[in-house]
A and B are shown apart, each in its own frame.
Chain A
Amino acid sequence: MESALTPAAPPADLTQENLLEIYYFLRLTRSLEEQLVNLYRQGKVIGGLYRSLGQEGESVATSYALRPGDILSPLIRNLGSMLVKGAQPVEVLRQYMAKTSSPTAGREMNIHFNDLDKGFLGQISHLGDMVPVMAGIALTFKMRVERRVGMVYVGDGAMSTGAFHEGVNFAAVQKLPLVVVVENNGYAFSTPVHKQTRVASLADKGRSYGIASYTVDGNDVLAVYGLARQLIEAARSGEGTQMLEVVTYRRKGHAEHDDQRYQSEEELALWEGNDPIDRYVSRIGDAGWATPDDLERIDSRIEREISEAVGTAESDPLPEGESAIGGVFA
């Protein structure tokens, strides 16, 4: 390793400030989820809790490569991408706790909420459905000749749905500025990838639609960022729909209540040793782009922010029953 006194230039177009900001979002995602686990155990989370442990790297890196004005649609393990786009921890906490002050006023759960001005569209539970919807958003960018890009996340499971196929195919045919991020995290609930598809690489599915498709180590934050940036800019400059498969691993169960009996100890240990945040911290530390003090300052800031957010969210009431009525139509 080079001496910290003569650091190499940060990769791609990232400044040191950017690198620290990426660390902030990685750590914020993990810490916020850990806080949610505490609340879940206390019975304060009303429904299920869905972790992205081990996948925070690709969520943050892909979304960080977008520009203001671009719009993404996350799936259930993309809390990180929403935080990058400006979702606030207090909003996420209120959603999980079904508070009247939550972005959906208690009508929807967990990270199913949106803020199109900030650049994220809320998902629904039906996998694959967000692909045609994001194709429609990208179609609007194209029709209005705006240099904006859409990004949609799917997993190895969502790729088996008809909606995914129809959406990607439509976007490909129309050459829409859409980047499809494929999170290959090993499992869809309990179903391993080999029971989901016969293709060797999920990116092969993208190639079958005639779109540029790449695979990257999803736990290498800077590699994901670099490739995502390239594909986003290709989509922006009129080269059509792009696919990026990020190979990662879901270290928790489908949801907090899942005992993970189908994941072996060896497999879990292997991927724990390949943690994206640990790898990122080593990388930026070894290269001299961040000092332990820098990171500690960020850690304390996150601890403070989350603790404030929990205090605020917890004290909010649940919505009044009769507020369920109305708002079905304009």
Chain B
Amino acid sequence: MAEVTYLEALRQGLWEELERDENVFMLGEDIGEYGGAFKVTEGFLEKFGAGRIIDTPISEAAIVGAAAGAAHMGMRPIAEMQFIDFISCAYDMLTNYVATARYRAGLATPIVVRGPSGGYVRGGPFHSQMPEAAFFHTPGLKLVCPATARDAKGLIKSAVRDDDPVIYFEHKFLYRRIKEDLPDDEEILTPIGKARVAREGSDLTIITWSAMVWKCLDAAEELASSDGASVEVLDLRSLIPMDDAAILGSVRKTNRVLIVHEDTRTGGIAGEITSRINEGAFEWLDAPVRRVTAHDTPIPYAPTLEDYVLPGADDVVEAARLLLAY
């Protein structure tokens, strides 16, 4: 066992997949000689060579498009967005070309598009986004959002091996803040589409993912010590496919649900989860489903502003108390 950070776990996962399968290669901006803006690919160029660790022009549409073309030919490309905010520059390529390819033309497009996501790092409007909902609405793309070091590794490895296109949202706030002991001698593969119970509880279910898992765990701890409440925290890990069985199972157990996401509120994924609960377990609810999300604004730069806009553990505690008292 060795203690590794979330970033190191991701790095190990990428490295292992590049070693395992010669069809795996990476392309993106500054990923070769420089080792990536966050050093996720440090040392990759030396190990795997410029033929497989490809520095590209600043051209997100070309990065994703070229990955798609290579994937049609049997390659397993991993495309890096330097920050996930720039994935919008490849929105057409992802939603019109990649997402439709299998349905309209029977084309396999096993690509992974990954990049540093999320806020809490004072990155301002264009280095803080969590644009999951923009792709959630497009049939044909899988979306994964690891919260732990183990899943950072296990989900990137599963994403590379998946036969469909996967967008992998890695949270940059977690990169060096989260550490975990991971075995050296066991292959970690996290199944895509399976949620994880991050904390067991019986009074209330919090459904969340990515960095919010940690804020929700803090909130659950606070609710346990101050209120004596038993809160379950369900880490979805994968938004598409979504683990409906795990969601409905937990709702039937606790009868109260709070959904927490870092993305903005209107059109956010909490709305869809709420609908699924209404359709699948309405009669099990003792309270209306509530949500804690970012406010509907771009992500501002000043710490005071960003902390106000993004959800915090205190927001989760407050919403949970309303539900527990309902």
Residues of A within 8 A of B (CB): 104, 107-108, 112-114, 116, 121-122, 124-126, 129, 131-140, 143, 162-163, 166-167, 169-170, 173-174, 327-330
Contacts and interface: CB of A to CB of B under 8 A. Distances in A.
A139 B97 CA distance: 18
A133 B69 contact: yes
Interface in B100-158: 100, 102-108, 139-140, 142
Nearest to A114: B105
Closest A-B pairs by Cβ, 8 of them: A136-B69, A132-B65, A136-B66, A166-B62, A166-B59, A330-B163, A133-B69, A170-B62
B69 A104 contact: no
Contacts of B106: 104, 327
A133 B75 contact: no
A104, A126, A140: most-surrounded residue (chain B CB, <10 A): A140
B73 A163 contact: no
A45 B100 CA distance: 23
11 contacts: A104-B105, A108-B104, A114-B105, A133-B66, A133-B97, A136-B67, A137-B69, A143-B75, A170-B57, A327-B106, A330-B108
A64 B25 CA distance: 33
Contact of B104 (A112, A116, A134, A167): A112
B75 A126 contact: no
Contacts of A124: 96-97, 100, 104
A166 B62 CA distance: 5
A328 B140 contact: yes
A126 B65 CA distance: 12
A163 B96 CA distance: 13
B86 to A, nearest CB: 13
Contacts of A162: 61
A329 B143 CA distance: 13
A140 B60 CA distance: 18
Given A137-B72, A140-B75, A143-B25, A108 B105 contact: yes
Given A163-B61, A328-B140, A135 B69 contact: yes
Contacts of B51: 143
A104, A133, A134, A162: most-surrounded residue (chain B CB, <10 A): A133
Contacts of A140: 69-70, 73-75
Contact of B97 (A108, A129, A166): A129
A132 B61 contact: yes
Contacts of B8: none
B68 A133 contact: yes
Interface of B: 25, 51-52, 54, 56-57, 59-75, 77, 92-93, 96-97, 100, 102-108, 139-140, 142, 162-164, 241
A134 B139 CA distance: 23
A118 to B, nearest CB: 14
A139 B69 contact: yes
A174 B70 CA distance: 14
Contacts of B142: 329
A107 B108 contact: no
A136 B57 contact: no
B104 A104 contact: yes
A163 to B, nearest CB: 5
Nearest to A140: B73
Contact of A166 (B61, B72, B104, B163): B61
B59 A131 contact: no
B105 to A, nearest CB: 5
Given A116-B72, A163-B93, A170-B57, A132 B104 contact: no
Contacts of A173: 56-57
Contacts of B241: 329
Nearest to B240: A329
A328 B142 CA distance: 11
B32 to A, nearest CB: 13
Nearest to B51: A143
B97 A126 contact: yes
A324 to B, nearest CB: 9
B62 A132 contact: yes
B93, B100, B107: most-surrounded residue (chain A CB, <10 A): B93
A136 B68 contact: yes
Nearest to B89: A162
A307 to B, nearest CB: 28
A131 B107 CA distance: 17
Contacts of B73: 116, 136-137, 140
A173 to B, nearest CB: 6
A129 B65 contact: yes
Contacts of A121: 69, 72, 107
A30 B108 CA distance: 33
Contacts of A139: 66, 69-70
B187 to A, nearest CB: 22
A116 B109 CA distance: 13
